[in-house]
Chains A and B, each alone.
Chain A
Amino acid sequence: MEPRNEATMQVLTNVADLDALRASLTGPQDDRPVVALCAGTGCRASGCMKVAEQFEKDLDDMGLTDKVRVVHTGCHGFCEQGPLVVFRLGKDQAVADADGNEHTNVFYPHVKPTRVRKLIEATIEQRHTVDQWLYREPKHNESVVAEQDIPFYKHQHRLVFDLNGQIDPTDIHDYIAKGGYQALAKVLGEQDPEGVIDQVTKSGLRGRGGGGFPTGKKWAECRSAPGSLKYVMCNADEGDPGAFMDRSVLEGNPHQVIEGMIIGSFAIDAHEGYIYVRDEYPLAVLHATIALEQAEKLGLLGDHILGSGHSFRIKVVRGGGAFVCGESTALMASLEGKMGEPRAKYVHTAREGLWGQPSNLNNVETWANIPLIINQGWEAFADLGTEGSKGTKIFSLVGKVQSTGLVEIPMGMSLREIVEDIGGGVATGTVKAVQTGGPSGGCIPEPLLDMPVDFDELTRVGSMMGSGGLIVMDRTTCMVDVARYFVEFLKGESCGKCVPCRSGLGLMHEILERICHGEGKLEDLDTLEEVGQWMSKTSLCALGTSAPNPVLSTLKYFRNEYEAHITEHRCPAGVCQALITYRVVAENCTGCGLCVRVCPTQALKGAPKEVPTLDPDTCIRCGACMEACRFDAIVRE
């Protein structure tokens, strides 16, 4: 893929060249209305590329191709509402809503190809909004015109994610026009490596991959480590199920990550870098590769970057699909072409990492924060957040919440604000728990939701920040099943090198399976706790030491649910299949026969217009009938 203007892909030999290029890109010539079309993985799954084709075709038919700029951006974060289209208009292009108010930003969710023509006509030619297709916020069922007024976006604080919905990630010019590589120019032109490390340290930035280690400290250790060959790496092996912010940042704004890495390499004095991307993220691999090619063409990577003495190159390496490779030493083993097995960390990566050389590994989101700290100053960054956790954090707000997607919030916001104000709460009424930190984290019960989001606070309640998955659970989520789920996941992903993790997870899984089948004993709960404590103390890497967290935290806060499974053989949430039955509620049934038709085992029988009967012996509890029923006439209990 080529950027929109090939002529401006000449090597930049100094900072003045970069400034001149930026000036040429931001001149007054381009004041066309912008159609920002989300082309992230989520919207692609919802069919956005067909919408994109339709825009191209309709604009061409209407003779507007040169008058409107269509940008295929990265993920906007509100994936559930996709395909998303945002019109960004100049003041003299504003459109009027039904009440006559003027808007320069109009957000349309769930855009279908058939709607495209009308959207163009209304916005560009007739200058009004198409009210029936605007976003309706679920609480008051009122339509909202502009992106920034939608509750999901309104309560966020987007810094790292700011450019995601605005720029085309496959065109370096878009990033440069928005001030991209300015931080790099500043660093290479005016600062020394120690000064850069000093700023990062003072900003209070901590690793966004989950560990929360102070980034500046890590860099300083790597810089001072003896050795002339050093490596800088980006961890994009985002394996935590339920988290996808790293994917979205790398897909939607790869240059910000690359810029951060170049600055880091300058501070550490490294000349080679790697971006290790998870196998399941093909679009992120593609966009990172395109971004690297373009940065090299412009001389932002390679020898003597911007005419300075610093040289740096980056390679993209695709993972093989192993969760443990998100662990730093396993990731490096994988980069070396070996199995992704972790090693004991008595020698720090900063001293002996990749190929035995001093190395520095940071996560995607951490790297993306670096240009912001340099541009805005560490003081501004440190002003945001809590005592021990600075800046913002991106979470993937998913599960049983009304508005799901990626949200960036200042550290210190409460979990309740995130779930209720941004996510719009849960449809079934009340939140039961929020799970953070992926398989290494824990479940935080509803009464604790007022706690601020902060590395140390989350650890204190038995969970952790992790990479930022935030999974909302309601009364239909079984906490024992959740614990069993995580243990099963980790059992499959444990590399098997150390005994506590390998055997501990096997034992825990066996016990939890038994409990979910109603065959548990009360003393099992003590065994789970004991095994968990041993695993935390003795496992080799963080996968093993944190693996018991989902079990221990649910045991701590939801012990009664475990006990219900054991003593009453009952799953209060109605999830564990061995302990539930389905029943037809005759009063609600209209005899429509839909459930009878969808039942795969003919367990439901009944003539049309009659209340069907359910044979519990042939019922396999697949839930198809309940899913199909529109009258709440099938219940699970």
Chain B
Amino acid sequence: MAVEQAIQETKLVADEAVRVVDDAVANLGASADQLIAILQQVQRTMGYLPRAALRRIAEALDMPFMQVFQVATFYKAFSLEPRGRRVISVCTGTACHVRQSPLILEALERKLGIEVGQTTDDGEFTLLKVGCLGACALGPVIDVNGAVFGQMTVAKAEKLPDQLLKEDHRGTQK
């Protein structure tokens, strides 16, 4: 039963991936220079790049699967695994580094019980580190799904996950 269910789920993901890829290709054009843009749109819509999506892109752009796979694994913006609902990116740019961002990162690892690059079991959080968010004057900074939190401290970082969950909860009550 579990196996059948898993097969069913994989099929659903694959169907969705094909739909998302076809949309992206229709939108952006089936040319090689749009490969990264197409991958980005799929990543944005689905939260990651399922294998079925990569296969569909290779077909649509008429390029070897290998080339799509190479690009998908070369760039940091892409993930081949599903990510959490909230992606917490800790900026580790130089300006943030000299203002103690490694301690912020450690605090989040400790709080979430995961290491950089991992996702919590409940699928709520993925923790990443990024080179530089370009908000250096506010360092150390953290980005959560596009929202930037500046002048972080270890104490603020420890509270952040709970705060995010609570805000979300409030949001859904409205």
Task: Render B143-174 as a binary contact track against A, CB cut-off 8 A, 1 for contact.
Answer: 00011111001110010000000000000000
* Interface assignment of A123: CB less than 8 Å from any CB of chain B: no
Contact A471 B131 (CB under 8 A): no
Task: Render A257-301 as a binary contact track against B, CB cut-off 8 A, 1 for contact.
Answer: 000000000000000000000011110000000000000000000
Give the contacting residue for A399; candidates B33, B94, B103, B146; CB below 8 A: B94
Contact A473 B137 (CB under 8 A): no
Give the contacting residue for B148; candidates A45, A240, A473, A493; CB below 8 A: A45
Give the contacting residue for A281; candidates B39, B134, B141; CB below 8 A: B134
A406–B135 Cα distance when bound, in Å, is 11
Tell me, rounded to whole Å, the shortest Cβ–Cβ distance linking A113 to chain B: 17
Contact A242 B93 (CB under 8 A): yes
Contact B76 A80 (CB under 8 A): no
Give the contacting residue for B137; candidates A239, A398, A600; CB below 8 A: A398
Tell me, rounded to whole Å, the shortest Cβ–Cβ distance linking A272 to chain B: 11
Give the contacting residue for A400; candidates B98, B107, B133, B155; CB below 8 A: B98
Contact A399 B95 (CB under 8 A): yes
* Interface assignment of A247: CB less than 8 Å from any CB of chain B: yes
Which chain A residue shows the least CB distance to B133? A280
Which chain A residue shows the least CB distance to B150? A45
Contact B71 A335 (CB under 8 A): no
Give the contacting residue for A41; candidates B74, B107, B135, B149; CB below 8 A: B135
Task: Render A486-510 as a binary contact track against B, CB cut-off 8 A, 1 for contact.
Answer: 1001000101000000000000000
Which residues in B have their C-beta under 8 angstroms from that of A317?
33, 36-37
Give the contacting residue for B154; candidates A247, A320, A485, A624; CB below 8 A: A624
Which residues in B have their C-beta under 8 angstroms from that of A78?
137
Give the contacting residue for B136; candidates A396, A493, A624; CB below 8 A: A396
Task: Render B41-55 as a binary contact track against A, CB cut-off 8 A, 1 for contact.
Answer: 000000000000000
Give the contacting residue for B138; candidates A46, A469, A489; CB below 8 A: A46
Binds B, one of A336-344, A444-452, A535-543: A336-344
Contact A41 B134 (CB under 8 A): yes
Contact B131 A239 (CB under 8 A): yes
Which residues in B have their C-beta under 8 angstroms from that of A322?
74-76
* Interface assignment of A353: CB less than 8 Å from any CB of chain B: no
- A-B Cβ contacts below 8 A, count: 172
Tell me, rounded to whole Å, the shortest Cβ–Cβ distance linking B78 to chain A: 7
* Interface assignment of A217: CB less than 8 Å from any CB of chain B: no
Question: Given A279-B77, A624-B158, A628-B155, are A493 and B134 also a contact pair (CB < 8 Å)?
Answer: no
Contact A318 B37 (CB under 8 A): yes
Question: Given A45-B141, A399-B95, A400-B98, are A337 and B33 also a contact pair (CB < 8 Å)?
Answer: yes
Which residues in A have their C-beta under 8 angstroms from that of B158?
598, 600, 624
* Interface assignment of A160: CB less than 8 Å from any CB of chain B: no
Contact B137 A79 (CB under 8 A): yes
Which of A46, A78, A400, A620 has most B Cβ within 10 Å? A46
* Interface assignment of B35: CB less than 8 Å from any CB of chain A: yes
* Interface assignment of A366: CB less than 8 Å from any CB of chain B: no
Which residues in A have their C-beta under 8 angstroms from that of B32?
336-337
Which residues in B have their C-beta under 8 angstroms from that of A46?
138, 150
Give the contacting residue for A282; candidates B67, B74, B146; CB below 8 A: B146
Which of B33, B61, B149 has most A Cβ within 10 Å? B33
Which residues in B have their C-beta under 8 angstroms from that of A398?
94-95, 136-137, 139
Which residues in A have their C-beta under 8 angstroms from that of B40?
279, 318, 320
* Interface assignment of B97: CB less than 8 Å from any CB of chain A: yes
Contact A242 B75 (CB under 8 A): no
Which residues in B have their C-beta under 8 angstroms from that of A486?
94
Which residues in B have their C-beta under 8 angstroms from that of A628?
155
Which residues in A have their C-beta under 8 angstroms from that of B132?
239-244, 280
Tell me, rounded to whole Å, the shortest Cβ–Cβ distance linking A406 to chain B: 8
Which chain B residue shows the least CB distance to A335? B33
Contact B153 A627 (CB under 8 A): yes
Tell me, rounded to whole Å, the shortest Cβ–Cβ distance linking B19 to chain A: 22
* Interface assignment of B100: CB less than 8 Å from any CB of chain A: yes
* Interface assignment of B119: CB less than 8 Å from any CB of chain A: no
Contact B98 A399 (CB under 8 A): yes
Task: Render A156-181 as a binary contact track against B, CB cut-off 8 A, 1 for contact.
Answer: 00000000000000000000000000
Which residues in A have their C-beta under 8 angstroms from that of B131?
239, 241, 280, 323, 489, 493
Within 8 A of A (CB), among B86-142: 92-100, 103, 106-107, 110, 130-139, 141
Tell me, rounded to whole Å, the shortest Cβ–Cβ distance linking B137 to chain A: 4
Q: 4 smallest A-B Cβ distances: which pairs?
A: A320-B75, A241-B93, A337-B35, A45-B148
Give 18 new A-B contacts, CB below 8 A, not counting A321-B77, A398-B139: A45-B135, A244-B135, A279-B75, A320-B36, A320-B39, A320-B76, A321-B130, A322-B74, A337-B36, A396-B95, A398-B95, A399-B99, A400-B99, A404-B137, A438-B94, A469-B95, A471-B94, A623-B103
12 A-B pairs with CB atoms under 8 Å apart are: A45-B141, A45-B150, A46-B150, A321-B78, A322-B76, A337-B63, A471-B98, A473-B98, A493-B131, A495-B74, A600-B158, A623-B154
